A and B are shown apart, each in its own frame.
Chain A
Amino acid sequence: MAATLTDETLIQQAVAGRQSAFAMLVKRYEKYVFTLALRFVKNREDAHEIAQDSFLRMFRYLADFRGECKFTTWLYKIVYSTSLNHLRKQNPDIRSLDDDEHPIRLKDEGAPDATRNMERDDRNATLQRAIGMLSADDSSIITLFYLYEQSLDEICQIMDLTMTNAKTKLHRARHRLKTILDEKFSVEIKEF
């Protein structure tokens, strides 16, 4: 039943104050929101916090969603901005993810040890781990484009980029992903 309701219907019901509609929206998008948050902070505890904050902000501002863009684009923009605020709290010098003077570097705690448990990992898991080693900026653009299938135009809206910037970032992110795969996972992935 819940799966048959469109996002638009759920949004209307939620705005009208129906609690179950909010719950269905959370259930429907919890993995997307959590994964995107995890791309930024690289540890599950902080990602849970960001995901929860993002949903609360979504609820607060749902009545202001006018349908000028896709609901998912609007939601990912909230996650992106919440994650950015979270990172700024940790490092007040950060102005944006594009800040060359204060680039966001990943914590190593989530970074995989390439020599451990190699046999157990399949290609998908290896790729996930390699993406996890990218910067927040790179991993989020790859996640948005390939995993969430957001168009370049939608990514521009979410990340507040120009089309040229978004394209460049995507190229750069792919290049860095390839480098990581070559350097750290060459045993597991020969072709990447």
Chain B
Amino acid sequence: MENTFKMTDEMLWDYADGFLSPAEKGQVEDYLRGNPEWKARLEMIQAEKRELFSLTLEAPNPGFADRVMAAWAAEQVHVRAKEKGRDWIIWLIAAVFGLFLITPVVVMVAGALQLSPEQLPAISIPELPVVDWALWANNSFLQYGLLLTAVFVLLRFLDKFLQHRRLANELGY
């Protein structure tokens, strides 16, 4: 079978960089054994590689790390202020929701406290006023309040989701 192997500079670089498969590597090594001029070229490539590996890093100006940390601290202050605003919304949602839950209990207890001693039978336990839960549930104030709460919560999740999408886009993930 005719040997169609042809040595190129790129193939030598691939050999030096370790990109070749074991079969290709074997072919290159066989070829190099019979061709000293290419072997000399390989040695040159390896010297060039050593030069490239020995390149030095550029140093930023003195105080660069301090400036980065100062910028980060400033950003954190800004983020905390923003977060505080978001926390305020969360507390408002919690307060509105808590109000709807606590109000019937408060109404019930207040009603019980308003009963005068004359109204109480001597030996019986006072009967607590009954809260009409169905009426409460149909209250439009409650319904709109819950709806508003749900919208707030949804917006909060949407905000978080969009932040993650933005990050993914920026980093190209």
Taking beta carbons and an 8 Å cutoff, which residues of A are in contact with B? 19, 22-23, 26-27, 30-32, 34-35, 38, 44, 47-48, 51-52, 55-57, 59-61, 64, 77-78, 81, 123-124, 127-128, 131, 142-143, 145-147, 149, 152, 160, 167, 170-171, 174, 191-192
B2 at the interface (CB under 8 A from A): no
The interface bits of chain B over 39-63 (1 if a CB of A lies within 8 angstroms of the residue's CB, else 0) are 0000010011101111111111100
Main SS of the interface on chain B? helix
Chain-A contact segment, one of B68-76, B95-103, B116-124, B126-134: B68-76
Q: Does B19 contact A (CB under 8 A)?
A: yes
Query: CB distance B65 to A152 under 8 Å?
Result: no
B residues 13-50 touching A (CB-CB < 8 Å): 13-14, 17, 19, 44, 47-49
From the candidates A22, A35, A170, name the one contacting B72 in the complex (CB within 8 A).
A22
B171 adjacent to chain A (CB < 8 Å): yes
B16 vs chain A, min Cβ distance (A): 11
Given known pairs A31-B59, A81-B171, A123-B51, the reply for A174 and B68 (CB within 8 Å) is: no
Q: CA of A47 to CA of B60 in the docked complex: distance in angstroms?
A: 9
Cβ contact within 8 Å between B57 and A55: no
CB-CB under 8 A for A35 and B58, given A23-B69, A171-B10 = yes
Return chain B residues, CB-CB under 8 Å to A192: 48, 51
How many whole Å from A50's CB to the nearest CB in chain B? 11
Q: Knowing A64-B167, A171-B10 touch, does A52 contact B57 (C-beta < 8 A)? A: no
Nearest residue, chain B, Cβ from A171: B10
Contact A77 B171 (CB under 8 A): yes
